[in-house]
Amino acid sequence: MNVGDELPPLEVRITRAQLIRYAGASLDFNPIHWNENFATKVGLPDVIAHGMLTMAVSGRIVTDWLGDPARLVDFSTRFTRPVVVPDTDEGALVEVTGKVGALTDEGLARIDLTVKFEGKTVLGKPQALVRP
C-alpha cells in the first residue's frame, strides 16, 4: 500500500425502499426521508437520503477494498449536501472514489474519499483510517 494508490470506484444506488428499511433500522423516521409532500414543504427538492446512510454506503468502497471490515479503524465525514432520492426504481446514484492519502507512524493508512451525487460532492472530507 502506497500513498496515491487508488481504490476501485464504487457506484451505489439509493432507492426509496432502502430509505424505508434504513429508517426502520435506525429509528430515524423524519418525514424528509420518506414523505415527498413534507420534504418539499420544508424547502427540499424531494425526499432525501439519511446522511448516515449516505456515509455507510460510501464506506463500502473501503471495506470492499480491504476485504475485512475489522481492518477499518475509523471513518469520519461532514454532511455537506443532500442526496435527493426520486421515486423511481433506479433511485439516486452515488459515486465514490478513494485513494491512499497518507501512511501514519502508527502503521495505519488514511484513505481519502470523494462522494458525489449528480456530479456534486455530498460529503465533506470523508476519511477512513485502516490497518493495511
Q: Give the domain CATH number at 67.
A: 3.10.129.10
Which residues are within 8 A (CB) of 119 and not within 5 positions of it... i.e. 6 or more apart?
A: none
Structural domain span for residue 54: 10-14+50-130
The answer to whether residue 88 sits within a structural domain is: yes
- Does 1 fall in a domain? no
The Cβ of residue 107 has, within 10 Å, a number of other Cβ atoms equal to 8
The model's pTM: 0.90
Number of domains into which the chain is organized: 1
Per the domain annotation, does 72 fall within a domain?
yes
Largest separation between any pair of C-alpha atoms in the chain: 51
User: Does some domain include residue 116?
Assistant: yes
In a domain, 112, yes or no: yes
pLDDT in tens, 57-104: 999 999 999 999 999 999 999 999 999 999 999 999 999 999 999 999
| Domain assignment of residue 104, yes or no | yes
